[in-house]
Amino acid sequence: MTCRRCQRSISAYIDRELRADEMRDMQAHLERCAACQREYQSLLDTKRLLSGLAAKMPREELEARILARVDAAAQGSRPARQPAVLHPLMLRRRLAMVGTALMGACAALVILAIQPQGVEPPGPASLSHWQGKPVAVEPAMPVQDILFLHEPWQRYQAAPRAMPVSSVQDRAPSQDETPKDGRLTASSAIGR
């Protein structure tokens, strides 16, 4: 393996996103190439620092604000009926949407007027690309399954410092870092 090829794959190696044979080739190269080893170690350190960041916690009232916005949307979200607490940024956005709708999409306004909820608003065109995938709404998954199928949010329920660093725990093999003269290593600093 050349150094060039190795260095291109270092992040994928750190993330264990290479095939098994590629992982072995990388490991073999890293064991005998000091330059690539340094590159590997520096990117691994960078990843660890990010993984070790404490989660930013929102203000208490954020949940209520979200629910209020959702309420407004559920009750037929005409721009004129947005709550007064609307952030100026969002207000500008709403006004822009109204302008767009008035200019080009009378039909959209009609649909909006006759159907109060569950209807696609005259929102930004960019919405369409993430909905381009085949949509499978049936059969509906039971509430329980959706709520408990995936657990990443659970770490946000706990104190930020207690956040597990799963992405670091299953990092690349056989590159055990050696503590440097009693200084904290990244792994100890982030609670491995």
Partner 1 sequence: MGEAHVAAEVARSDRDLFNELVRRCHRQAYNIAYRLAGNHADAEDLTQEAFVRAFRFFGRYNRDMPFENWLYRIISNVFVDELRRRPKLRTQSLDQPVAPAKGGSEVLPEVADDTADPERLLFHGELDEPLQHSLNMLPHEFRQAVILADIEGLSYEEISEVMGCSLGTVRSRLHRGRKLLRNRLREQYGYTLGGVRGMDQ
Question: Are 23 and 162 within 8 A, CB to CB?
Answer: no
Residue 66 or 110: which CB sits closer to partner 1?
Answer: 66
Determine the Cα angle at 94 with ends 89 and 96, to 5°. Answer: 95
Torsion of CA 124, 129, 131, 132, to 10 degrees: 140
Residue 70 or 105: which CB sits closer to partner 1?
Answer: 70
Question: Are 186 and 52 within 8 A, CB to CB?
Answer: yes
Residue 32 or 88: which CB sits closer to partner 1?
Answer: 88
Q: How far is the CB of 117 from partner 1 (least distance, A)?
A: 7
Q: How far is the CB of 67 from partner 1 (least distance, A)?
A: 6
Q: How far is the CB of 115 from partner 1 (least distance, A)?
A: 12
Report the alpha-carbon distance of residue 48 to residue 124 in Å, rounded: 36
Q: How far is the CB of 106 from partner 1 (least distance, A)?
A: 20
Report the alpha-carbon distance of residue 86 to residue 77 in Å, rounded: 13
Residue 102 or 141: which CB sits closer to partner 1?
Answer: 141
Residue 32 or 148: which CB sits closer to partner 1?
Answer: 148
DSSP character for 154? Answer: G
| 118: region left, alpha or beta (phi > 0 left; psi from -120 to 50 alpha) | left
Q: How far is the CB of 186 from partner 1 (least distance, A)?
A: 5
Q: Helix, strand, or coil here: 60?
A: coil
Report the alpha-carbon distance of residue 192 to residue 169 in Å, rounded: 7
